Each structure stands twice: as C-alpha cells, then as structure tokens.
A and B are shown apart, each in its own frame.
Chain A
Amino acid sequence: MKTLKSAARDFVVFYLNGVRTEVRGLDVFKTVAEYLRYSRGLTGTKIVCAEGDCGACTILRARPGERLEAINSCIALVAQLDLCHVVTIEGIAREGQLSPVQNAMVQCHGSQCGYCTPGFVMAMSWMFEHHKTIDEKCARNHLTGNLCRCTGYQPILDAALAVKNHDSLTRRYIVAAHIKNLARLAKRSVAIKTEHRALFMPVSLKELSTYRKRHPDSLILGAATDLGVLLNKGKHPLTHLVSLTHLRELNTVRWQRTRSVVRVSVGANVTLSQLRKQLEKKAPAVAATLDLFASPQIKNVATLAGNVANASPIGDTLPILLALDASVRTQTRSIPIDQFFIGYRKTALKKGEIIRAIEFTIPRSGDFFRFFKTSQRKDLDISCVNAALFARKSNRGFSELRIAYGGVAATPLRLKRVETLLRHQVIAADLIERAIAQLAKDITPRSDLRGSEAYRLRVSQNILRELLTEAAAHG
C-alpha cells in the first residue's frame, strides 16, 4: 500500500477546451457542471434538472483512445474527466466566429429564452462530429436528451438540417501532443484525499481487490448516472469512492461461440453506446432495443453492469438480459441473472464483490426476440411496464421460451410459470388467454406516478398478447 501511495497521482488531469487542467482537493468530488460554473466561471454550461434528464449541461468528453461523446456534466464528477479531452460551449466558436452549428441555430431561430441552447449546440455538434450528413430522424435521435420549453423544437430541427461544413472538434482538440501528455500519466493510479473524502482510481484489478479488501465500504463509481443524481439531491454524500474508469480490462466486448450458441461478454466499463455499435451487425434486434431508452448523453456513459448493479425493477436492460439468459460475472463467479435480483434493489452481490462483465446469448436467425416498453412519454422516460420475450421454435411450438417483465414486481421478473404453460404447445388464441390469466397471478404491480396497479396489469396483459401473437406468427 505504501509503495502504491507514493506512486499514486494526487490530482486529476484533463484538457479543457485544449488547455491542460489539473484539479486537486474538493473540486475533484464536485459535479463537472458545478466545477465549470462556480470554480472556473464557465457559465455557458447550464444546470437545470441536476439528474441527466434535460441536457442543458451537455458537454463533450473523449476518454483515452475514444471518440468525443456528449455527456451530462451535471451528474458526472470531475474525477471522471481524468485523462480525458473535454469541450464545453465556450470551446465551440473559433476566434469569435460562430461554428456552423451555432450559425444555423441563429439563422433558423433555434433559441428563444436561450437556457437550453448551449446544451443543444453541444449535442448537435456531437452529432456532426460523427455524421457527415444527417436527416431529420438522425437529428431527432441525437437531440432526444435535450429538453426545450420554448421553441416546440421545429426551429432546432430546421437548424440541424441546415448545418453545412461542420468544423471538426476532434481535429481541433484531440491533438497528438495532448494525447501523449496524458498517456504518460495513464500508468499510475490516482489517490485523492481531503478531510472528509477519498477517491481511488486503480489501474489494475489487483490494486482494486487490495483496496476493496481494506475499504469494503467504499463505493464503486461507474458511470455515476445514478450516483451523481443521489449527490445532487442530497441523498448520498459520495465520500469514499473507487472509480473503475482506468481499468482497461473492463473495456472490452468479447464474443464466444460454442457450437451454435453465441454469447457476448460485455465488460463493466463498456458504455451502452459502444455496446450498441458492437451489436449493430451481429445482433440488430438486440441493438435496436437500446434505441428505446435513455438519452444519448446517458448511453454515452452508462453501462450494462451499472444497470444490473442498480437493480431497479424498471431498469430497461433487465428484462432483455433475463430473456437472453444472461449471467453476471464477478471476480470469482458467474451468477445466472434470474438468481441475481433477490429483492427490491437488492442483488446477490457480496460485499466487496464487483461486476466485471455481463454475458448474454445472441439470438440466431429464426429466433424471435422483442422488447416492449410503455411509458408516459415515448422517449427518454422511465418505463411504466417493460417486457422482453425470446422464443425459439421447433416443430412442436416453442422449444425455448423466456419471458421477462419489469415494473410489475419488486424486481425484474422471469415469468417461468407462463413459459411452462406455453412451451411445446400450439399457440392458439385460447392458450394465449390462459397465459394472460397466469400472468395476472404471477405479477404484483403497484400504483405509483407512472401508472396505477390496474393500468399496469392491463397493459402487461395486452403486451403479452401482442408478443405471443407476434411470436406465434414469426417464421
């Protein structure tokens, strides 16, 4: 530990709009948005919801070796900028000249009160970082994470479609000298202590294990899309953190084929955006499910492991993982996901145990896989009820069938009794109705602001009818 300490770096370092920036002490534990606004006077970045739901705080960040991605700075901690390249609204215009995105927003009247505008400019700039040409659908998808209350969005869409000759921020800000400068520091772990707070960022799993053994109560800092919210809302002080950010071995997606089964193992640091890219060709049906939830800004940082560890009964990836026969890989063992959620927000993880990867089966051609989600608002909303169904057909009905629901019990739920009822049967209308009746017995929905018990039950049944009808008709 002693040697480790002496080797550890006691500051966080990143490039902010091209300027090398070191942060020490308490500022490291602040959210990025607060740090920018109140410690640096960079007030272009706005804080509205402080929970990652409005996008007013959008900035761009590139992790080492990765692309610039839009993230919500209000729920990211300064610690998470370590070794990154960061671009804020102040870094968009060039020598007083508006960027093409900014210019289009002015010309198309894309701002009214202006409070959401920096966030939109950042999200739109991010879109053009990665797409030379766009269409309306692409624009809507990239701007889903940004709320505007004034314009009705149409002028903003018009602006997006009017942008010409985007000036690459990657080229401007991710320059070789800066990459080299940061790379020199990447081999050392980071340890920051203040009077009341501590942060450790190990660079190897061994360091992590040692530290966790000594400090079992330390909190794992992943993407912080939930922890950042807890901090902002005064629900958790985040006093002792261990960040997994620098553990390169958690960054990989591995494909394993045994006979006809293809499993994918998704490292704990892999973001949902990165995962979607990986799945796009090999499992388009699974990739498409990722479009239905969270904002791009969240998907650019959030991970499968985080969603699983958080164990929310309405976590959107959880029914999908249950339907795809996932397992949770820790340092020492592999836990089948249908044994992982043991109570309301309680998991089978033991103290000190961390999730290294999530593995699941990729549907093969001919398989039926569908995810269904209903919420108050179609996009960027927490589900009222969600459901996933995986089915493989043989000449006698479904040979394999997994049905999973969220939002209908204290945990995400596999409907094993419903599955048993349906397996190897001819799927006729009366059987579907029996399955629906069984579903009503197996779920225990509760009323809350996203829907009443009666609505959740009714909609769950309607969804099952849809899924089964489709699955029966499939192939």
Chain B
Amino acid sequence: MDNLSPSHDSARSHVTGTSEYVDDRPILPREVFVDVVHSTHAHARVLKIDTRAALALPGVVAAFTAKDFAELYWGSIFHDQPLLASDVVQFCGEPLVILAAESLDTLRAAKTLVEIRYEPLPAILTIHDAIRKKSFIAGERKIERGSSNDDTVPSALDSVIADAPHQLEGTLTLQGADHFYLESQCAIAYPLENNTIEVHSSSQHPTEVQHVIAHALGLADHRVTCVVKRMGGAFGGKESQAAPFAAYAALVAQKLQRPARIAISKDDDMKITGKRNPFFISYRVGFKNDGTLLALDARLFSDGGAYADLSTAIMERALLHSDNAYFVPHLRVRGQVCKTNTHPSTAFRGFGGPKGVTMIEKIIEEIAERLNMDPLDVRQKNVYRPGYDVTHYGQKIENNVLPALFEQLEVACDYRRRRAEISDWNATKAIAQKELRGLSLTAVKFGISFTTRHLNQANALVVVHRDGTVQVSTGATEMGQGVNTRIAQLVAEVFGISHNDVRVLATTTDKNGNTSPTAASSGTDLNGSAAVLAARRIRARLNQVAAHMRRTERDRWATFTAGLGTEKEFELSEDSSDSFMDMFPFREIVTEAYYNRVSLSEYAHYKIPNLGFNKVTGQGRAFLYYTQGAAATEISINTVTGEVKILRTDILMDLGRPINRALDLGQIMGGYIQGLGWMTTENLFYDDHGALVSHSPSTYKIPNIQDTPRVFNVVLFENHANTANIRGTKAAGEPPLLLATSAWTAIRNALAYLRPKPNLHTVPATSERILRALENF
C-alpha cells in the first residue's frame, strides 16, 4: 500500500458490513416505522385526504398531515416549500401524509389505504412551457465582462458578434439526472427528556436538519441535536433534501413520544426527491478565422421544479462556469430559473458548473467543425494564459496550469496520432465495421468556494487524550469522499503522530454548531483548516511543555510529582519558534501537559480569506482558487443501434499537493464515471402527466462495471505552487465529473465525420438520440 494514502478510515467496517448507517441502528422497543404518501398528480387541488381506512388497519399507529406541523415551510434559500402539501400539490411525488406503524409490512399495506381525492389543475412540465407562461423563480441574473450591471454603459457585445468574421448560433438541452446514492433518504428520531429530540440523519447538512426540525416542531434550536455518522452516498442529493425526511421522523417522535424511523424505498426516493436541474441554453458566438473567440452571448434557463431549493445558487455557478478554460473577450451570460410542476431540482456534484462548461465545450467543437480545424487547436488558441487570465466576472486566475495541462495530456495520450488513426478508420472502415469512432479532449476549471460568502466558514473541536490519541469533531460529513480520513491525516501531521491515532467522530450539532453543508467540494478545505488551526494551538502549548520538560530533570516532571504537589506548576508563556516536540514521545508530552493543567482541547473557527464576489454586479473574487484538469475520451458508436462504448480515457488533474493520493484518484475516477452516466445512459423519463417513470435501477441506468473505459489512465499533475489552500492541496470532489463532457463531445466528434454532419444538441446522448442523428429520423 501507498504510505501516503492510508485507506478510508471506514474501509475495514465497510468490507465487513459493520459500518453503521442510519437504518442499521438497532430497532428499539416501541420504535415505529414511518413513511410518506405522496401525490400522484403534478398539479392539483387536494379535495380530500382520508386516512381512516389506513388507521383502521391493526398495527397502524398514527397519520399526520400538514396541519400537524407548528411551522410548515422550509427551504435552504427561500422558505417556500411546505414539508407536506395540503390544499394544492405542486409536483408528482410531493408528500402529503405521514404514516407510522408497528411493522414494515403494516406500513406498506397502510400506504395503499390512504385515500386522496384531487382536482387536476393545468401543469407546467417543461422549461419551454415555463418560459412561455413566464413561470419563474426569482429574477434573471446577468454576468457580463466589464459590466457592473448598472445598465448605463451600453454593451459592445452585439456589435462585436455582428462584426466578427464568423458567427454561429446554437442550443443545448441538458436533462436532469438522479443522484442514485445507494442509501435512500432516511432518518431516526429519538424523543428524549424535557422536550428534546435527537435525530440521526443521512444528511450533508446537519445544521440545516437541526434548524428545519426545530422550526417545524416549534422547538428552540437547542432542543434538537442532529447526528450524522456517515452517508451511503449523497452527491448533493442530501444537502438540502435530507431535512424534510428527518422532520417527518421528528414529528412522529414528538407526537407519539416513541422512536421513529423513516427509510424510504428507492422508488419513492426517486419519485419524491429533486435531481440535477435540467437546462435549456441558447447562444450566439463570434469568432475569427483562426478559431479565436471574440464574443459569446448566452441565455441559460434551468428547470427549478416546484420550489426554489438551491436552484438560484446553481444557476449562479452555471453562469460563473460558462467560460470554463477559455478566455472570451466579450462574454455575457444571463440565467433564469423556471418554476415547473416537477420535483424541486437540487444540488448535484458540480452544481451548475457542468452546464456552463458543456455549453462552451460544445461551442468549441462547433467552431472547429465550421473551420475544419482540430477542436484541440481551437481550445489551445483560446485557453486562459498569461495576459488573458481574467474571467468575465473579473477574477484573475492565479496559479493557472491550463495551458500546461493541455500540452501534457496531448502528448501523454498520443492525441495527434490517434486522431489520424480515427480519421483513417472513419474514412475506410467505419461503414463496413458498423463502427464510428470519435476522440475529444476537454478541460475543466472549477471554482472552489461557496459563492455565498457566509457559507465559507467552519469550526472544529480537537481533543487530545492522555494516551496521546486524538478525537476530532468538525462540521464535515462523511459520504464516502474520505473527508474524515483526510482531516485525520492533517491533524496527525500537526502533532507528528500516526493518522491511526486520530479519530474523526460522527458529526453532531451539539459539538459543531452553525456549520455549512459538506458541499461545493469544500469539506476538507474548510473543516480541515479549522481542525488544523485547533491542533496547532494545542501543539503550541505542548511545544512549551516539551521545552519545559527539556529544561527539567525527569524525576521532577509533574507527571511524577503532581500528586504530591512538591514542584511548582509550569506556566504557559509566549510561544517559541523552536520545536521541542521531537525530543519526547508525544504521549509523554501530553501526560506532562495534563499534570501541569495545560488544556489539551481546542476549538477553532476558520473562514476563507479574501473573498469578494458581489452578486448584484456579478463581479469580484468568487473563488479562493480553481481546480483544473483535462481529459481525453475515445468512444465508438455502433451504427446499427446507436450504442456507445468508451474505449479509452486519459485524465490529467491538478490537485495541488494531495493529502491522500488514493482518495483523490477515487474521486477522479468516480466523478468521471458518474458524469459519464449523465452524458450517455441516464435517461429520466416522465409520462405526459409529469410522473417519473424511470424510478428504479431497472429503468434508470447508471454506469455498471462493464461501462468503464477499457483503458483508464489517471495522472495527477505536479503542482507545488498552490499556496491558496491548506497544505497546498486542491479540492477534488466535483471537478472530475465535468471531465465526462469529453465523452459527449467525443460522440459529437464521431458524428462530425459523416456528411452531411449530423447534429446532437442534447445531454444525455442516448442510443436513440445517436441513431436519430445518424439516420436523421
């Protein structure tokens, strides 16, 4: 094993099945099982909710509706979503009734007995419908280079496009995608003494769960504690959307004063919970004969679904990533979230980033096709580089390695030779072999920080125990990404001890309050930094103790004399710049510190410095730094069926100086494959009434083990110059997902070899869409 890459701190319990997830907690006496009954209409007036038949079933304990909550509305940005619908349902799958029963069997039977009568109302089911009817959430956002959105300075953009040697226009439709975390939404609430509640939730945001529950139940915040041990996957789907399920369990616990467990089925999870926002994008571009971009004007519409959730922030990130790796002298992006009668869209790995990125990567392909250039040449012509390194929102890109990534990956993946081979294959063999091939190399530049400034803070509690082992508590939640392992390594490094002697504990709101969601790839950056701050303070004290130990004969140490009180107690004074920690075993220093009444615990707060993004002007420093990478994907298309195979993928990523290489590689490969699913096979299919039909893995096809590239090379770029972040590391969670764009552009690339050139404007590129493009039907 790679010594720099300790395994995930839960690896042993994962492989033995002993890792405890929420629904693995032992069932307590009197515990009830909870589930929700949801709407079968996309938009309807609710005429009647009748739970009598369900309640008559032996073993059914209670049914609750909207009126049972002290406060009904919640929402991460706008408080616009009811925990349960009452008079009107706004989407198919919207919860209406909570049921509690003594057993799972009974609960399942009871669900079918709840009678709900509806009066259907006209439903808005698509972005285009919403645009026509001006059904929007919040206002339009605009970001334009050099503009402060004061509308007094006329924009030169239109004339630049008009005067450009070449123009093109186009659209891009991006469907949503389900997170398909394996562990569906779940929570257990325990009613405790004096009107307090402890809830165990599978949530990326325990603080929000705590607050939503307190609010919904009419309790003060301090009466609710939320515990998150680990999640069985999340990917953004448990950032906001874990909260209502925890609130359902908490309501039952409060009303019945019995432990209450909710663990919904995968089908219900997929029907009820929001997904990646679908987008519809239209754009106009002006460019030069050599492929240099002159101007880009784009309008982005997203489908926010029935409620706001995080959609406005997601749109903001889409606007901020519409440049991706490329300098566009005149760039204007406008974004509007649409309100429709579908599940409320939510965070999903990449947030809005992948939408902006896919748009501009598609534009690059189209420019190359127009000019008969290799798309990579167009990319390299436009890449952010010295002198051309300020984004449309006015942030200078520091430590920019994009040109180097392109150059190195081009060589490493043998791009030019393979390009020639593919051209040859497509010209001579594709028809006979029924196989078209395509290759594409795309990049990612992903801004790291929450674009909402106040979320960029974290706190940590570090406790050193007398045997020299350490417990760390932070607001970070473990969803598989290995944040706990990385934080343990960071803290161990501060103390100079083994990471095995550091244990990162379950996340609880009574130890770490007012935390931000573990999201935006920032879990380690924020919480690791706070933990390191706390650990350093303890270390500074221990260092003084060590210095004292060096000065003092061993038999006069407090460790041996404190009980008798014969020696004077050591007093902390100014910190020393010299390190004495190596002179004694860590455990001895800790013990001596304790007997000298030196605190072995510390709490620290960290905030990301120097952020200054003004949401009104759309200008400023939105991000602490950028994670950058590039990927080349080669695909083949079966021209009989339109099916795609991924032949080879080469990824080169700059993750600075990784804390844990193996975990980072895991994030890269996992993120890429997840993105690949969205780009190719994952097809959310709704019926004409807005009900999701593909609500389980038999119909919703995430990649399986046969779908991974047959050759899969992942290399980390050497970058020791990133000083912005803790220990020179860079965030790895979301950026790799955006590299899967290269698979989609590779499919486009394969199609571009045909005459007339077929076009593909939709993500995902399903077999059907590809065959339609190939055969034009």
Which chain A residues have a beta carbon within 8 Å of chain B's beta carbons?
A: 26, 34, 37-38, 41, 43-46, 48-51, 53-54, 56, 88-90, 92-93, 98, 101-102, 105-107, 109-118, 121, 140, 143-144, 146-157, 232-234, 237, 374, 376-382, 384, 448-452, 454-455, 458-459, 462-463, 465-466
> Is the pair A381, B17 in contact by a Cβ cutoff of 8 Å?
no
Docked CA distance A427–B630 (Å): 50
Docked CA distance A92–B267 (Å): 30
Docked CA distance A46–B24 (Å): 9
A449 touches which of B232, B480, B481, B699 (Cβ 8 Å): B699
With a CB–CB cut-off of 8 A, which chain B residues contact A105? 11, 14-15
Docked CA distance A458–B105 (Å): 45
Docked CA distance A113–B13 (Å): 11
> Is the pair A458, B777 in contact by a Cβ cutoff of 8 Å?
yes
With a CB–CB cut-off of 8 A, which chain B residues contact A53? 696-698
Within 8 A of A (CB), among B698-712: 698-699, 701-708, 712
B670 touches which of A38, A44, A50, A152 (Cβ 8 Å): A152
With a CB–CB cut-off of 8 A, which chain B residues contact A110? 15
Docked CA distance A185–B706 (Å): 42
With a CB–CB cut-off of 8 A, which chain B residues contact A46? 21, 182-183, 232
> Is the pair B233, A150 in contact by a Cβ cutoff of 8 Å?
yes
Asked if A462 meets B705 with Cβ closer than 8 Å, knowing A150-B233, A452-B768, the reply is no
B767 touches which of A101, A147, A376, A454 (Cβ 8 Å): A376
Minimal Cβ-Cβ distance residue in B for A29:
B105
With a CB–CB cut-off of 8 A, which chain B residues contact A44? 16-18
A50 touches which of B230, B265, B771 (Cβ 8 Å): B265
Nearest CB of B to A233, in Å? 7
With a CB–CB cut-off of 8 A, which chain A residues contact B5? 109
Binds A, one of B88-96, B138-146, B535-543, B661-669: B661-669
With a CB–CB cut-off of 8 A, which chain B residues contact A377? 681, 701, 703-704, 707
> Is the pair A147, B232 in contact by a Cβ cutoff of 8 Å?
no
Within 8 A of A (CB), among B200-224: none
B307 at the interface (CB under 8 A from A): no
Docked CA distance A148–B14 (Å): 13
With a CB–CB cut-off of 8 A, which chain A residues contact B180? 147, 149
A376 touches which of B235, B663, B681 (Cβ 8 Å): B681
Docked CA distance A463–B434 (Å): 12
A234 touches which of B111, B231, B693, B766 (Cβ 8 Å): B111
Minimal Cβ-Cβ distance residue in A for B108:
A234
Nearest CB of A to B700, in Å? 9
Within 8 A of A (CB), among B78-132: 104-105, 108-109, 111-112
> Is the pair B772, A455 in contact by a Cβ cutoff of 8 Å?
yes
With a CB–CB cut-off of 8 A, which chain A residues contact B674? 149, 152
Query: Can you list the 10 inter-chain pairs with the closest CB atoms, starting with the nearest?
Result: A44-B17, A113-B480, A115-B232, A114-B14, A152-B669, A152-B673, A112-B480, A89-B17, A449-B685, A43-B24
Asked if A115 meets B183 with Cβ closer than 8 Å, knowing A452-B768, A458-B777, the reply is yes
Docked CA distance A49–B641 (Å): 28
> Is the pair A113, B699 in contact by a Cβ cutoff of 8 Å?
no
With a CB–CB cut-off of 8 A, which chain B residues contact A116? 182
Asked if A149 meets B233 with Cβ closer than 8 Å, knowing A377-B704, A455-B768, the reply is yes
Interface majority SS (helix, strand, loop, mixed), chain A: loop
With a CB–CB cut-off of 8 A, which chain B residues contact A155? 665-666, 669
With a CB–CB cut-off of 8 A, which chain B residues contact A107? 1, 7
> Is the pair A146, B480 in contact by a Cβ cutoff of 8 Å?
no
> Is the pair A48, B266 in contact by a Cβ cutoff of 8 Å?
yes
Nearest CB of A to B202, in Å? 10
Asked if A147 meets B182 with Cβ closer than 8 Å, knowing A102-B15, A152-B673, the reply is yes
Extra A-B contacts (20), CB below 8 Å, given A53-B696, A106-B7, A111-B8 = A26-B105, A43-B21, A49-B696, A50-B265, A51-B698, A98-B12, A101-B15, A111-B480, A114-B8, A114-B19, A114-B232, A115-B183, A117-B15, A143-B705, A148-B705, A149-B233, A153-B705, A157-B705, A462-B771, A463-B641
> Is the pair A151, B666 in contact by a Cβ cutoff of 8 Å?
yes
> Is the pair B698, A115 in contact by a Cβ cutoff of 8 Å?
no
> Is the pair B10, A111 in contact by a Cβ cutoff of 8 Å?
yes
B683 at the interface (CB under 8 A from A): yes
With a CB–CB cut-off of 8 A, which chain B residues contact A92? 16
Question: Could you name 30 residue pairs across A and B whose Cβ atoms are closer than 8 Å?
Answer: A41-B26, A53-B698, A54-B697, A56-B182, A90-B16, A90-B17, A102-B15, A109-B665, A112-B480, A112-B482, A113-B479, A115-B232, A115-B233, A118-B14, A147-B182, A149-B180, A152-B666, A152-B703, A155-B666, A157-B708, A376-B681, A379-B704, A381-B701, A449-B683, A449-B694, A451-B768, A454-B777, A458-B775, A462-B640, A465-B640
Most buried by B among A38, A153, A232, A377: A377
B450 at the interface (CB under 8 A from A): no
Docked CA distance A105–B662 (Å): 13
> Is the pair B16, A102 in contact by a Cβ cutoff of 8 Å?
yes
> Is the pair A140, B706 in contact by a Cβ cutoff of 8 Å?
yes
Docked CA distance A451–B685 (Å): 10
> Is the pair A106, B681 in contact by a Cβ cutoff of 8 Å?
no
Docked CA distance A92–B17 (Å): 10
Minimal Cβ-Cβ distance residue in A for B670:
A152
Nearest CB of A to B260, in Å? 15
> Is the pair A111, B670 in contact by a Cβ cutoff of 8 Å?
no
> Is the pair A109, B11 in contact by a Cβ cutoff of 8 Å?
yes
